[in-house]
Structure 1
Amino acid sequence: MPNPFEAVWNTLKIAVDNVNEPHTPLHVIEVGDCWKYITMMEEFIRYEEIGLNTTTDDEVKEMLVDVIALCKDQVQKLSKFMIKEGIPLPDVTSAKPQSNSMEIPLGVKLTDDEITNGIAFKLVLCMQASAVGQANSIRNDVGMMWLGFFSDWVTFGTTLKTLMRKRGWIKVPPYYYPPGSPKHN
């Protein structure tokens, strides 16, 4: 049975021994994971900019500023890595200009509930993509990069979940009651 402490220890040893690892070229799946992830991050930033232009809630604005900073940091790290490895960067959409949220018609304007649930959905996709990238990586430096991205999302997710619970915006699937068990309200 796997031991979590041993796994952490092995990860630390890999990080230290990374200097001695032969620098092999990235394989095609590693390249594809990088390319998809950076594209996803850039599009995620556009959604967050739309949220900033839409919301008037100070806590939602603060959360959006934080997640934009996180995404931009990951884009910067991944861009630097991709350029170093000779991977062309994808074309992405331009940044959204700032606008006055009071001038956006109500039928077009995202609600704070929609904004935070959209961020939560995108967070799950980013966590999954980070985990897949880590699982697909052969090189230790690539695996550690993905692990760092995943860790960023776990940390941010706890803050987002707290805000969503506080405001009653978290979407909960129906509860499951096994057959024969008393139902709890």
Structure 2
Amino acid sequence: MGILSGNPKDEPMHYGEVFGTWSFLLGAKAMVAGYQTMLNHIGDGDLHKLVEESIEAAQQEAKQIEILLKENGIGLPPSPPDRPKACLEEIPVGARFMDNEIAAAISADIAAGLVACSQMIGSCIREDIAMMFGQFHTQKATLGGKYLRLNKEKGWLIPPPLHIHKSVEC
């Protein structure tokens, strides 16, 4: 039996797996803090619920990665403090993030997260880590679909130029 056979949890992580998981965790923690701040700016009830779901998803991902890193003797990145709740009406209108801006920013974060998960899946030699990021990828794709639907329903989606092919009749 070689060092990379048997139970994947007994295999060492390679440097790419360490860096990728550590970086992913740092990003997840930053997103939780950022999204908690964004909650204070949201007026739309549907978006508020979806951002809360996004926070819960990022916190779950962070917990799983923290366990993995601790089991492998790897130090954790710093955690920003939880953000306090504020009253929307107390934030000056010109200083508020708009609901459509928040939805677009989080949609972009999800797209970047899908790429990060795919990159980790492709670079892993430990099946358990690859499967964990496969799970994250699936969850992010589902969440991204919810944001897409919400953006369309609310009229917040700004599509790129649309190509409509019209055939020329002779």
Q: 2:117 — aligned with what? A: 130
Q: 1:11 — aligned with what? A: none
Relative to 1, partners in 2 of residues 1:136 and 1:104: Cα closer, same or farther, differing over 3 Å?
same
Matching of residues 29-178 of structure 1 within 5 Å: 29-176=16-163
Alpha-carbon offset, residue 59 of structure 1: 0.6
Q: Is the 8 A contact 2:8 2:128 kept in 1?
A: no
Aligned length: 164
Q: What is the TM-score normalised by the length of structure 1?
A: 0.83
Alpha-carbon offset, residue 92 of structure 1: 3.0
Q: Aligned AA for 1:124?
A: A
Alpha-carbon offset, residue 31 of structure 1: 0.4
Query: Where do 5+ consecutive residues of structure 1 fail to align?
Result: 1-17
Q: Is the 8 A contact 2:37 2:83 kept in 1?
A: yes
Relative to 1, partners in 2 of residues 1:110 and 1:22: Cα closer, same or farther, differing over 3 Å?
closer
Matched, 1:27 2:14: yes
Cα distance in 1 between the residues matched to 2:9 and 2:152: 47
Percent sequence identity is: 23
Query: Where do 5+ consecutive residues of structure 2 fail to align?
Result: none
CA RMSD of aligned residues (A): 1.8
Q: Aligned AA for 1:157?
A: G
Relative to 1, partners in 2 of residues 1:106 and 1:21: Cα closer, same or farther, differing over 3 Å?
closer
Q: Aligned AA for 2:135?
A: G
After TM superposition, which residue ranges in structure 1, 4 or more long, deviate above 6 angstroms? none
Alpha-carbon offset, residue 22 of structure 1: 7.7
Alpha-carbon offset, residue 177 of structure 1: 5.5
Relative to 1, partners in 2 of residues 1:96 and 1:136: Cα closer, same or farther, differing over 3 Å?
same
Q: Aligned AA for 1:50?
A: T
